[in-house]
Amino acid sequence: MKSITAIIALSLAILAPAVTAAPETGAAKKKPNPQKVFKKKDGDKDGHLTKEEFLRGAKDATKREKLFKRKDKDKDGKLTLEEFKAQPKAKAKGKGKAEGKTSK
């Protein structure tokens, strides 16, 4: 019995560093560099992203299009690097309705 316990303990001591050194997947993903993403998406290299360039490769084009509209602050139909990097403000729930009041 002592030898089995010793073998298990030795096995754990040998394998533990290998298991803890395994790279994490999923949760600890690094955020991409916005400048690099912008340059990659800017197909014509004019320093702006058109809606078509912004939507290219999107999984959900409808959501991406809404995001494009929120980021395009000057409404010129293209994003500058500054607009691209800026975090859009979250949409307010119940926008346009006063709290606690109902329309007649």
Per-residue pLDDT tens digits of the chain, which is 104 residues long: 667 666 666 555 665 555 555 555 555 678 899 999 999 999 999 999 999 999 999 999 999 999 999 999 999 999 999 999 998 776 655 555 444 445 44
Contact residues for 46 (Cβ-Cβ < 8 A; gap 6+): none
| Residue 41: other Cβ atoms inside 10 A | 17
- Please list, in sequence order, all residues whose beta carbon lies within 8 angstroms of the beta carbon of residue 39, skipping any fewer than 6 positions away: 45
Task: State the CATH architecture for 31-88.
Answer: Orthogonal Bundle (1.10)
Taking the alpha carbons of 53, 57, 62, 68 in that order, is the dihedral positive or negative? Answer: negative
Question: What pLDDT is recorded for position 7?
Answer: 63
pTM for the whole thing? 0.58
Q: Which long-range contacts (CB under 8 A, 24 or more apart) does 3-9 make?
A: none
N-term to C-term CA, the chain: 82
In sequence order, the 6+-apart residues with CB closer than 8 A to the CB of 86 are 71, 73
List the domain boundaries for the chain.
31-88
